[in-house]
Structure 1
Amino acid sequence: MNIKEKEISYQTTNTYSTLNTLTTKTKNIWLVFHGIGYLSRYFVRLFDSLNKEDNYFIAPQAPSKYYKGNDYRKVGSSWLTKENTQVETKNVLRYIDAIIAKERIPQDLNFIVLGYSQGVSIASRWIASRKINCNALVMISGGFPKELHKEDFDFLPKNTKIIHIVGEMDPFFEIEKVEAEKERVREILPQIEFRTHPGGHELNIKTLTHII
């Protein structure tokens, strides 16, 4: 067989979701990345209990969709796989750039980047590659990319809040692995704060208090 895998570039279109309204009273802009299996319009609802006047949420949508379950009724999505990861990462980061350009985020507001589960890898890679000077980076129940190092985040001010949150009953995180990961990430982001909640692999809104 004479099989060749070739590459082509083309323009594509994707959606994203927002929650609340950006006004002169808004204090915080949140860029929130969902985990595997979510659609952005459902994920962003998890933040509905936070103050609506103070907070404006932008939830990008992972581009790869698939049917969940055998009844082919529910749809989920995924950011990346091990297949063609470098190219797909570049595609995703350009998509995020386009969202930020369209939203025209005011520079005088608090900018918080949050990644949940698989979204942690996207949030951290985007900040590192684009040198995003955010006020806070929140990582929830997700692994930190192996290719990122301390020098990738040297541009961040020391007062940037870095928070890592994991559920005490999270089936995807064994205690030994969590402790080892803490040490690795602390070397990269010395100012990191670790938080836990009594639940499992989930986003617990109560742990997001006092982010800014």
Structure 2
Amino acid sequence: MKKSINFQYQAQYSVSHEPTFEEKEIWLILHGYGQLAEFFIRKFQEFDSSDRLFIAPEATNYGYLKGFAGRVGANWMTKHERELSIQNNHRYLDLLMENLLSQYKDIPTIKLLGFSQGAATATRWASRWAGEVDQLVLWSGGFAQDMVLEDAREKFSQTEVSLVMGDQDDMIRPESIEIQQELIKNLNKDVKTMIFRGGHEIDIEMLSRILESSE
């Protein structure tokens, strides 16, 4: 007989600088499968400023990337207890944003970037989060197929959405692109597609273009 218990859990996240709570813009950035937040955020560090804060939550499931020793990576979920992981992710991100935003007198603009597995996690969470996301960037990934479409359609109605991918990304299959196209059609949403020369990675030149256009 399988049971469950709730308990307090400590999770890690990285920030591009110590928050002053006067920033005008917050980017919540969700890493991909097998990554760690402290390394993922380094890609964004050069774009940090007094008005822009990057926050990289770290997924709470860990494992060795190869065998039983060596480098460790985090992931947002696996097929085992998948729904429970999704619920835990939502509670984690809700609490993180609630604690952070409660310290601002003037609420900053919220922007969200999800890379690879982090893209689906971002859309699941943001589609039912109480707050508003001004800009959503899905990088080398896409909308979660199990989103509640009615919720997502309403939540993202005023959100600027971009799909970003490398032209040599061998982890994005043609059938995945077809599924995303159908999802976007059902969301009745205009989505900007941006292609860069490269693979399954954060391209700094493309990232710079996105951040400059968001200012």
What is the TM-score normalised by the length of structure 2?
A: 0.87
State the AA in 2 paired with 1:188.
L
**Stretch deviating more after TM superposition (123-132 or 146-155):** 146-155
Is the contact between residue 128 and residue 155 of structure 2 (CA under 8 Å) also seen in structure 1?
Answer: no
* Aligned residue number for residue 16 of structure 2: 19
State the AA in 2 paired with 1:32.
I
State the AA in 2 paired with 1:39.
L
Which has a greater percent of helix?
A: 2
Q: Which segments of 5 or more consecutive residues in structure 2 lack a partner in the other structure?
A: none
In structure 2, C-alpha distance between the alignment counterparts of 1:195 and 1:189, rounded to whole Å: 19
Report % sequence identity.
Answer: 29
* Aligned residue number for residue 161 of structure 1: 160
In structure 2, C-alpha distance between the alignment counterparts of 1:81 and 1:24, rounded to whole Å: 35
State the AA in 2 paired with 1:134.
V
- From the superposition, tell whether residues 180 and 97 of structure 1 become closer, same or farther in structure 2 (CA, over 3 Å): closer
Decide which of 78, 82, 95 is 1:81's aligned counterpart: 78
**Stretch deviating more after TM superposition (125-134 or 162-171):** 125-134
In structure 2, C-alpha distance between the alignment counterparts of 1:183 and 1:82, rounded to whole Å: 24
Question: Superposition pairs for residues 110-189 of structure 1, below 5 Å?
Answer: 110-156=109-155, 158-175=157-174, 177-188=176-187
* Aligned residue number for residue 202 of structure 2: 203
In structure 1, C-alpha distance between the alignment counterparts of 2:202 and 2:185, rounded to whole Å: 22
In structure 2, C-alpha distance between the alignment counterparts of 1:177 and 1:56, rounded to whole Å: 32
RMSD: 2.2
In structure 1, C-alpha distance between the alignment counterparts of 2:21 and 2:58, rounded to whole Å: 26
Q: What number of residue pairs does the alignment pair up?
A: 209
Q: Which runs of 4+ in 1 moved over 6 A?
A: none
Measure how far apart 1:53 and its partner are: 2.5
SS of aligned partner of 2:87: helix
* Aligned residue number for residue 43 of structure 2: 46
In structure 2, C-alpha distance between the alignment counterparts of 1:200 and 1:116, rounded to whole Å: 12
SS of aligned partner of 1:166: strand
In structure 1, C-alpha distance between the alignment counterparts of 2:149 and 2:82, rounded to whole Å: 22
Is the contact between residue 131 and residue 153 of structure 1 (CA under 8 Å) also seen in structure 2?
Answer: no
In structure 2, C-alpha distance between the alignment counterparts of 1:50 and 1:23, rounded to whole Å: 17
